[in-house]
Amino acid sequence: MGTDDISNDSVFDLIGAIYEAALDGSRWESVLTRIDEAMGGRILFGVYDPANGLSSLVSPRIDPDRVQELLGWAPRNPLLPLGIGRTPGEVFTIGDFITRDEFTATDYYNEWWQPAGFDTEPLTTNLLVDHNATGILTSHRPSNLPSYDDNARRLFATLAQHLVRAVAIQRRTHQLDVTGRAALAGLDGLDHGFVLADAEARPIFVNRRAREWLDAAESIVLEAGALSAINSEDGRSLQSLIGSCSIDHPDRIGGEMSLRRHPGRMPLHVQVTPVGTDWAESSVPLASGWRSSAMVLITDPEPDARSRLDALRTRYGLTRAEAAFALEIVKGGGRKATAERLGITDGTARSHLSKIFDKTGVNRQAELVRLLLHR
């Protein structure tokens, strides 16, 4: 196929397949093959998340021996550190960091890359940058074909956003049997809220954790039988995201948002994704007969944030504010973007960063990110 030949309907169908693979890992190879065909390239998809038991490097159309060789190159691969601070979903390529001449002079290029037959401008995005977990997606263009054009870049960028969300879902649900009769019991065992809803945001299935949040009515609530929020603006945004997953919606996009809680509490993180009717019916019998469905995954960041803040403070002697800044800068965008996300001035951010450098013994933001991600 190729990016000039793919229709909008095919792209939307591929996006739906990506989310189904997040819930059924056996589908990843098929989905990645379809992405290969759409891009006209060779996809390499890797996730390493030991805390959640995830470790995979998948490339359906690259020689398996070459993939195994790539694992051996990891300690000496000059490309790995370059994009480590980039925000998940942001597309980058080698030329954003080093020149072609610099890259082609490396042992890695001459001993692995060139023999594999790839050009020097692959498209790459981080799928996951989170403490000890990493994930990356690269689409390699064969060197005997023209380099990726703007259409290919746009398609890759679109798919990258959905792949980032899909990996986040897989991290939270991969240990469950989310198909067949075991689905309901497994979903009730999640520490995250899980809701299946129709296009009007009416819940069809609510797991135990989501029910607790609904009963508490401190953030997400039921209003006239539909999912909403105590903050009216948040409620409208949530219902809009759920509605965007309808099969009647031209894009079926979903999205992410925060649901505010009472003052002093961190907001809940909500991820809304389209779910195929076939999957909904096979997993949750109550969903039988739906025309459309959305999955709403709700996460409370407070427990994990507390443990990671405490770990950083203990290891490096950081203050609570410095530890919070260190955790946030790992998410990408640099110092100023981190300051904006935390609601602090750039001057305060500069002060935090200087003190963090002193206490951790590093001198650059990229070194700090690598240090925090590999501890």
Residue 59 neighbours by CB under 8 Å, 6+ apart: 32, 42, 43, 44, 45, 67
Task: Write down the domain spans for the chain.
Answer: 8-173, 180-300, 304-373
| Angle (nearest 5°) at CA 133 between 123 and 57 | 55
Same fold, 8-173 and 180-300: yes
For residue 139, is it left (φ>0), alpha (ψ between -120 and 50) or beta?
beta
Q: How far apart are the C-alpha atoms of 187 and 179, rounded to whole Å?
A: 10
CATH topology of domain 180-300: Beta-Lactamase (3.30.450)
Q: What is the pLDDT of residue 181?
A: 43
Query: DSSP string covering 152-207, please?
Result: HHHHHHHHHHHHHHHHHHHHHHTTS--SGGGHHHHHHT-SSEEEEE-TT--EEEE-
Please tell me the class of the 304-373 domain: mainly alpha
Q: What is the pLDDT of residue 287?
A: 47
CATH ID of 8-173, from 3.40.50.1110, 3.20.20.70, 3.30.450.80, 3.60.10.10: 3.30.450.80
Query: DSSP string covering 249-306, please?
Result: SSS---EEEEE--STTSPPEEEEEEE--HHHHHHH-GGGTT-S--EEEEEE--HHHHH
Q: How far apart are the C-alpha atoms of 80 and 189, rounded to whole Å?
A: 36
Q: How far apart are the C-alpha atoms of 328 and 349, rounded to whole Å?
A: 11
Q: What is the pLDDT of residue 198?
A: 86
* Three-class DSSP category at 372: helix
Q: What is the pLDDT of residue 38?
A: 93
SS3 sequence, 296-351? EEEECCHHHHHHHHHHHHHHHCCCHHHHHHHHHHCCCCHHHHHHHHHCCCHHHHHH
What the block records as the tokens of 160 is 């990258």
Q: What is the pLDDT of residue 5?
A: 67
Q: What is the pLDDT along the chain (375 residues), one digit of tens a residue?
A: 555 667 777 887 788 788 778 777 788 899 999 999 999 999 999 887 766 666 678 899 999 999 989 888 888 889 988 887 788 899 999 999 999 999 999 999 999 999 999 999 999 999 887 766 788 999 999 999 999 999 999 999 999 988 988 888 777 665 554 444 445 555 666 778 888 888 899 988 888 889 999 999 989 999 999 999 999 999 999 999 999 887 666 566 788 898 988 776 778 889 888 876 555 555 554 444 444 578 898 988 777 666 777 777 888 899 988 988 887 887 677 889 889 888 899 999 999 999 999 998 888 887 887 777 554
* Three-class DSSP category at 375: coil
Q: What is the pLDDT of residue 184?
A: 52
Phi and psi at residue 142, to the nearest 5°:
-55, 140
